[in-house]
Amino acid sequence: MPIVVVLIYVFIVWLDAYGLLKQGKKRDFYMCSVLCLISFSLAFSLAMHWQIPSPSAPIVRFIQQLF
């Protein structure tokens, strides 16, 4: 069953991004593909109950460097 869900997810992502490629918007197609890959990776890691590091510490350091 998990393989079917992954295949459905891949099909939906391909269908969504294919329209951009068909219109000749290659940059948008690649950006959409990368964002979908990141989204899928996060969803998969959360489904597997893996610990995802919080980005709050690097964000706090970056903001402190600005001020």
The Cα 60–Cα 50 span in angstroms is 24
Q: How confident is the model at residue 1 (pLDDT cuts 50, 70, 90)?
A: low
Whole-number percent of the chain with pLDDT over 70: 99
The stretch 3-26 carries a mean pLDDT of 82
If you average pLDDT over every residue of the chain, what do you get? 84
The Cα 51–Cα 61 span in angstroms is 22
Whole-number percent of the chain with pLDDT over 90: 0
Q: What's the whole-model pTM score?
A: 0.62
